[in-house]
A and B are shown apart, each in its own frame.
Chain A
């Protein structure tokens, strides 16, 4: 049986692991409203994938956790171990959260820096957005709020526990 990423990328990606593939699938699922979980419907899956790759140059499994990072112009979206230990909704929520960060970066690059990614990278990861700063807290609250609304919409509802966990995260800042 061919790997999932083979469907998307052909032979060049055959070295990817199962967890890499799960990361692709998870990201694609929340990449666009109405995107499909099942890669059997490759039409919509491909649209989601294209959108995800407009936000991140690398989409992968990240053993240390889910994150969005930019390093020397390369944008990375990763889904970590913690996500795969969670429920379906939790997994999607984690991916959706990182996608919002990627969108925040893309928007800032386009609007504030006229497409200059190097300048945007310096600003986005600069001291004013450092962990624990008010701007960081603001970014996290927005990301989590948007992510849970998207997942709620996508799944047609979330459990009270899932919603509560998200609220605790937002209120933690």
Chain B
């Protein structure tokens, strides 16, 4: 599925991706951990709105996450 990183992580955090989508599915805890890693933020797992706000900002700034300089990964 053509799912961008941020959209996919957000959808997984909300539990919107069914486990049968094996390549795209993550547990909520794993999605949350991955969001913590790439964002450097510390919003709680339940604060979906705060994560949505962060994702919107990251999209606007066109941040790339998988770079050799990203020490969070």
**Distance (whole angstroms) from the CB of A102 to the closest CB of chain B:** 12
Residues 21-41 (chain A) with a chain B CB within 8 angstroms: none
- Identify the A interface with B (CB < 8 A): 64-71, 80, 94, 97-98, 101, 125, 129-132, 134, 136-138, 140, 144, 169, 171-173
Q: List chain B residues, Cβ under 8 A from A66.
A: 1-2
Is B45 interfacial (CB-CB < 8 Å)?
no
Q: Is the CB of B21 within 8 A of A69?
A: yes
Range of interface residues on chain B?
20 to 34
Question: Please, how many angstroms separate the alpha-carbon atoms of A97 and B25 in the complex?
Answer: 18
Q: List 14 A-B contacts (CB under 8 A).
A: A64-B18, A64-B21, A65-B1, A66-B1, A66-B2, A67-B24, A69-B21, A70-B22, A131-B24, A132-B8, A132-B30, A132-B38, A171-B64, A173-B66
Question: Please, how many angstroms separate the alpha-carbon atoms of A134 and B64 in the complex?
Answer: 12
Question: Please, how many angstroms separate the alpha-carbon atoms of A131 and B6 in the complex?
Answer: 11
Chain B window 17-28, contacts with chain A (Cβ cutoff 8 Å), 1 for yes, 0 for no: 010111111100
